[in-house]
Structure 1
Amino acid sequence: MTAVSGQRSTAASSPVAGHAAEEDLRALFGQSIAVFASLAGPAHVVEAANPAFFATIGEERARTGVAVAELMPELAAQGFIALLDEVYRTGEPYVGRDARVVLGTGPHAREAFFDFTYEPRRDAGGTVTGIRVIGVETTQVKHAQRLMAEHRALVEQIARQAPLAEVLDGMARCIENLAPQEVLVSVLLADPDGRHLRHGAAPSLPDFYNKAIDGIATGEGVGSCGTAAHRREPVIVTDIATDPFWDDFRDLADRAGVAACWSTPILARDGSLLGTFAMYHRTPRIPQDTDLALARIFTGTATLAIERHHIEQAKAAADARARAAHDELARVVRAERELRAEAEQRAAVAAELAARMRAAAAAQAATPRPEQCQLGGAPGCAAPAEIKIADSWGDSAWGCPIHVEEAILNVRSVFIANEELGGLAAYLKR
């Protein structure tokens, strides 16, 4: 399967009238942003090309008189040379839409997308003598579409209250996929006091690195992120090996294989610090416009996610406090009911004991000192009557120690009336 998607044109190309028409095409595309190249012969030798063509393939390869397969060998495996061969052989033009091509090799390779046409060139007799390549790069449009789709997915995650760690991890991976060159993304979250930064997300950085910087202080000269958080402005370090901000972290960065770090503070709408968003690179680099645009877009997305998370945390804390207050109120109400029931029970016991004392006082008119306890109530008490008690109304009764103590605890103004026992004070000290 070839990497090229496209279609055959339904109309055959008419023969080019002559050299003047070819020159007109070259003049037309000379300063155009569209890619134009004129290829000659079955080897597809680059006969002429406009500046946009050479800028696209790389200025170091800007030369003519060389076959496309030699000038751009990476195209063979992607199916583009085979398409040129077919157009040259059949004389039928080919139109490609949003065709993906990887230009260059190794660390300098880049992904690009094109709308293009392979149009046969013919001599006066109608014989195909070469191919004209006309194309428009759609890479930025393609990346913009991907960016919009990825950004929309992240916003939907935030709207449905996905966990913050999940949102930030997805955001980091999204940026790493969208960036034109390799980038490693890190998000650090500010402590409530704004003085330290905690790990938020960094899916491509080594674990030992993430653990080492978890909890770093904010301050001038504390790496890219600590300084950006302190200054409340972006800090671009293009070469960690020589930047003084990284004096304390240089060995750590070297072990992690990172050589540049651009950090942007994540600020709430009220200006308070929420965290930092950093883009790391494995080689010293200065940011391009696309890098800065990605940083701006996704810093705003991180702000939205973190603020939403803080709102949810505050709501959860408020709900927890409300539940705790409700539970405490319920506990107090239960305790109050228990105390009231206990007080009512004590009142009932006191009333019953007072009634027993009145009954005992009446009985003493006939028997001054009974032999058995008079305070046992309806069931009666067979224990000997040992102690005499009285109340402030003059009623008195004899009882056993158990029922006497119950009366003293529950009936107001009851006291020991036995003179031989030394009264209440002696009783309590027994």
Structure 2
Amino acid sequence: MRGGVQAQVPVLSVGDADAAGRFYALFGYAGQPGEDGRTRLHCGDLTLLLVEGTPVPATLHLHVDDVAAIAERLASAGHPVEHTPGAECRTADPDGNTILFTRAPEVPAPQAEPDGRPAPVRRAAQVVAHRDGAPGHCQIGGPRGEPCTEPAEVKLADSWGDTVWGCLTHADETLVNARGAFLATEDGTGLAAYLAARQARTDTAAVPG
């Protein structure tokens, strides 16, 4: 959704930013106080902002790659860890903020055919194979502009209205690297069929009873 949230930064009020920084370093965070007096801790692409002041109780829920290893580090550093149902752990930072951590949920891999290609790409190629109108050869070509002699098997499009036909190999590459590109399958659920059905309903409604 355009205009939506692009990122979020949790803010914690802490009594001692250095002590809090040492605690969150056990989770992999690292950082230094900034010129504004705030401490920005980073762990990969994630940011945690520490502001010294009167602590206000808060709760953080963290997804981690190794629950057991982090629980062991916390316990060794004197931070008790409580194991709760559902493989979730609970501890507290030096300011009493509740920290829940568990393993990151696994994202299922896209369904693929035996040849390793994503199922939607393979289905799009099957639709094209039963229709006429595709050009004889791939229009995408190689990364250095070299022509591709493989047959055009799928059609790609973007929201600007640009389209191109490609072989499965170069179509896969384009879908990964061209932001906004998508499969234009031209199957029975496409715009043409949808608009044709709407037109048919309009014509029917226009006939006097």
State if a TM-score over 0.5 links the two structures: no
* Greater fraction helix: 1
Higher relative contact order, structure no. (Cα contacts within 8 Å, ≥ 6 residues apart): 2
